[in-house]
Structure 1
Amino acid sequence: MCANSCHIKQVEASNAGVKVGLIVRGICCLLAEIPGETENIHIRSIVGRFLEHSRIYIFGTPDRDKIYIASADFMTRNTLRRVEVATPIYDDKIKQRIRDMFGLMMKDNMQARIQQPDGTYLKQNRDVEEINSQEQQYADAYERARQ
């Protein structure tokens, strides 16, 4: 159940040439990479062992981005039937940490699956260094806790 208004805006952005990258926990009913419609939308699914996932929203270019974190996904059941919250991130150090986390998830080639135009998901190419973004984030958190 995806919010239709979000899909419409993402398709409009794609058609205007905006690159849209989505990291979803499971499946997404928006079909990505369809020529002439959603060719600028790329969807990655990452499901880890605890099913946890971030609610990070980054808009704009790295030099002038706006970053938000939220308590829920923008799905109809969350936006129409529940009280949820999203907040902007202003602190530059925290913004950089969130960008780094997002970048790590975009490099994940162990848990990530890439959505194809027909809605199927394929595993990443593993010919390069193996990256499991969630396991790396666990290790980083344990290291910070030790310090």
Structure 2
Amino acid sequence: AHPFPQVANKSLNFIVRLKGRDAFGRENEIAIVKVPRALPRLIRMPPKVAPKEALFVSLSSIVRAHLHDLFPGREVTEFSQFRVTRHSDLALDEEDVRNLRTALRQGLQHRHYGQAVRLEVSAGCSVFLSNFLLGQFDLPGAALYRVGGPVNLVRLTQLVDLVNDPALLFPPWRSVWPRQMQPGVSILEQLRHRDILMHQPFESFDGLLAFLREAVNDPQVLVIKQTIYRTGS
């Protein structure tokens, strides 16, 4: 039997239960279909088959409809889409790391295959398939989530670029100067009197840039330190 394949963090995959023998006479009951990340998750239907001007179908729906084509001579008895979320914290000790750039590159690569923390399957996934996946990823039953619809709704943001209709879009937000920051007055001097809270991106980043420029040109500033948090997925 083949070992269970490496499944990348939050990638699109299918688990398939098969019946019969393959071309080599083997009776592998379980197969994993990994969908490449390079493929678009939304496919525009050609005009000759689309009843409307802009009709899209998800990549997962296309894969589901043609799973049997991937296993000629065998019967697909059941299947389920699944996605695994892995622990992706990046912990580096700057004191022990000689080459920070290399360490970061290696750490970012390993994040895709960290310890599994959550398993998402289709709502109709059988207990047999879900238990099989839980065992492979060494997860308890509490880490299993059944999803009745698309697993990753973020992929639907592609529609903004695929459908060219300004009437469907909200007007662009125009950020303003931070209201707690007085323009034309030294920011360092303002900070000596009180803290300044900026709400971005609703407030312009120009205030932050002005603060950094002033700090860079101030001879009394010896070092600038920033803590940057990743707020997006």
TM, length-normalised to structure 2: 0.19
- Tell me the TM-score normalized by structure 1: 0.27
